Structure 1
């Protein structure tokens, strides 16, 4: 799971807190925090540099009047720096917090005139997640793992203490996010044993059939990387057995089948499975990308390029990511003598439409 997905998964965390969602008591985002709606809009557009400018201006002009507003603006600032790959600066921003996020100065009860009858931490959860994640971006992987395991303990304690209902659901979602982050870090270093333990624990804790199926599918991917193809087949078969009308779940089943076909180098069958996904949802970029790769393996470069170019025209917001563009440029290099000119045209288009954090070096010009 990449950072963008993690930030999207935060959803409420930039406008609420671990202990009490602020938005319950306010009518609009701007009631919660100074011009929060415009920050949200800029983030959705990927205008990360504009967010840096806006936060800097608010700080310089002392436009933030309540303690929690400073933390919310810090959250956006740290996210923007991280998205722009300015990791050292993001680390410095979080280090500016006095004695960490659990300091009493970041508690509601420390400011009774601002927050009557509120208690607990006002720190947005995304700051806790970034505090754990950022050391790995400055080549300190062990510190990231240590912090994520501490964050997992924190989340589980909160989940145990919370009452049933919405708050409990939020903490369960956060627990899943943290565990998936831990799995990603172990997986990147091929530490498969701990990944299997963590994902199986998540599956056992999950009671919703669809959510269990998604986790079981991830288990299958881990088993494939481990070389346990029979185990992966069994996991994917369990996913297939979940009856659902949701398009995404149906596509998940087809993508799993296609992956097994790809492992067996049966690219024709894989293309068929991916096409079923695209017929249901023409913005399924994983299916589009992998169908194009299968066509490339079948030496049909012309069609593979068409598949990817059509996706960029049809669903640019979904398709415009670095992996997708790298694969398309590789196909250009294989198919065209004048590939530099073609990639330059693509690069110019990307410069006009891509968010600030898009890495244009992926065109390899």
Structure 2
């Protein structure tokens, strides 16, 4: 049976955008206390997260750090970067020596956090936020330190024979290496980015995600043969994997092959690759966006509109991201400038959007 992405008629006038969708993720009311922060975050209710963090009184050191993590995260999601950095400063040094402000802030009567007690998410935010503030050297140093922590903890887990901890810290190490490479790439320091990923592959050569991340950096520097070789390595490893890891790996490889086709400006091949990803997982919002862009460059704007409309109707929560909203708004401007479709879509988005979606994305350009 044809999928939603293949059966959407290119000349369809699409959905009416009249009714707000049913979002299962927001169905259950959040619990009170610290546990309710998780539900509010999943619903994208970041302003409520901030309000609750200010009201809560931690009963333990663990509660204090959880509240601080959600508070910093919520501020970051709302692009209040400097406020997030200030809140992070109140927590104190995450390696154990806290400030006076930290002892009087969320920590309450407790002293500064011991390094072993700090949530990994809080450490990640501490590394990521300097880059958002344009402090790139600080971001590099922070992610280098985080990567070093992951290397140390992964080594300890391996020596102790703790397979679960080894997998946990191995995955964190790979993500930290990818983030450090991203910081370098954002500053066009591509040799440094590739060196980080090469070191990660030297330590763990069977990580499919690291090979594919290397391919992305290689594409950015125009090294198409190198990117193809990296994707081929990932494909080989995905073919050897078993169970869910195999399916996930092959889908990631197909997406990467779509990006290779985009680099060659082979739009039909790219569209076929992204469509294949969506047949396997209709929730893949990134593939929806990439497929729509392929249709646009293939001079079939209406098909691009149909792809995005189907995505928003099928998986609204996954699709409510600024680049995807902006893409459909732009395509409405190109394909149906006087139909009112863009205005109806904008009103639909405004009714259901999470707090961190900047509605200015409805006016791309």
On whether the aligned pair clears a TM of 0.5, the verdict is yes
CA spacing shift, 1:201–1:342, aligned 2, 3 Å: same
Q: Secondary structure at the match of 1:132?
A: helix
Shift of 1:155: 3.0
CA RMSD of aligned residues (A): 2.5
Which residue number in structure 1 is paired with residue 195 of structure 2?
197
Which residue number in structure 1 is paired with residue 305 of structure 2?
305
Q: Which residue among 164, 167, 189 is the counterpart of 2:165?
A: 167
Measured against aligned partners, the alpha-carbon deviations of 1:64-85 in whole angstroms (never above 9, x if no partner) come to 2222321211111111111111
Q: Secondary structure at the match of 1:36?
A: coil
Equivalent residues of 1:145, 1:182 under 8 A apart: yes
CA spacing shift, 1:125–1:276, aligned 2, 3 Å: closer
Within the alignment, does 1:363 sit opposite 2:347 as a pair?
A: no
Higher relative contact order, chain-length normalized (CA < 8 Å, sep 6+): 2
Measured against aligned partners, the alpha-carbon deviations of 1:120-161 in whole angstroms (never above 9, x if no partner) come to 632222222222221222221211212222222233333334
User: In structure 2, what is the Cα distance between the partners aligned to 1:268 and 1:69?
Assistant: 52
Q: Which residue among 120, 138, 143 is the counterpart of 1:125?
A: 120
Which residue number in structure 2 is paired with residue 254 of structure 1?
254
Within the alignment, does 1:224 sit opposite 2:222 as a pair?
A: no
CA spacing shift, 1:81–1:205, aligned 2, 3 Å: same
TM-score (norm 2): 0.79
Measured against aligned partners, the alpha-carbon deviations of 1:84-126 in whole angstroms (never above 9, x if no partner) come to 11111111111113455412799xxxxxxx9xxxx86322222
Q: How many residues align?
A: 316
Which residue number in structure 1 is paired with residue 144 of structure 2?
149
Shift of 1:173: 2.4
Greater Cα offset, 314-323 or 97-106: 97-106
Which residue number in structure 2 is paired with residue 38 of structure 1?
36
User: In structure 1, what is the Cα distance between the partners aligned to 2:195 and 2:77?
Assistant: 31
Q: Which residue among 67, 72, 75 is the counterpart of 1:78?
A: 72
Which residue number in structure 1 is paired with residue 17 of structure 2?
none
CA spacing shift, 1:96–1:290, aligned 2, 3 Å: same
CA spacing shift, 1:66–1:214, aligned 2, 3 Å: closer
TM-score (norm 1): 0.79
Within the alignment, does 1:184 sit opposite 2:182 as a pair?
A: yes
Q: Secondary structure at the match of 1:164?
A: coil
CA spacing shift, 1:82–1:300, aligned 2, 3 Å: same
Greater Cα offset, 151-160 or 287-296: 151-160
Q: Secondary structure at the match of 1:355?
A: coil
Please list every run of 5 or more consecutive structure 1 residues that lacks an aligned counterpart in the other structure.
1-29, 107-113
User: In structure 2, what is the Cα distance between the partners aligned to 1:297 and 1:120?
Assistant: 50
Q: Which residue among 29, 53, 56 is the counterpart of 1:55?
A: 53
Which residue number in structure 2 is paired with residue 294 of structure 1?
294
Q: Secondary structure at the match of 2:251?
A: helix
Equivalent residues of 2:94, 2:123 under 8 A apart: no
Shift of 1:311: 0.6
Shift of 1:214: 2.2
Equivalent residues of 2:277, 2:284 under 8 A apart: yes
Equivalent residues of 1:45, 1:355 under 8 A apart: yes
Measured against aligned partners, the alpha-carbon deviations of 1:279-326 in whole angstroms (never above 9, x if no partner) come to 222222222211111111121111110110011001111222111112
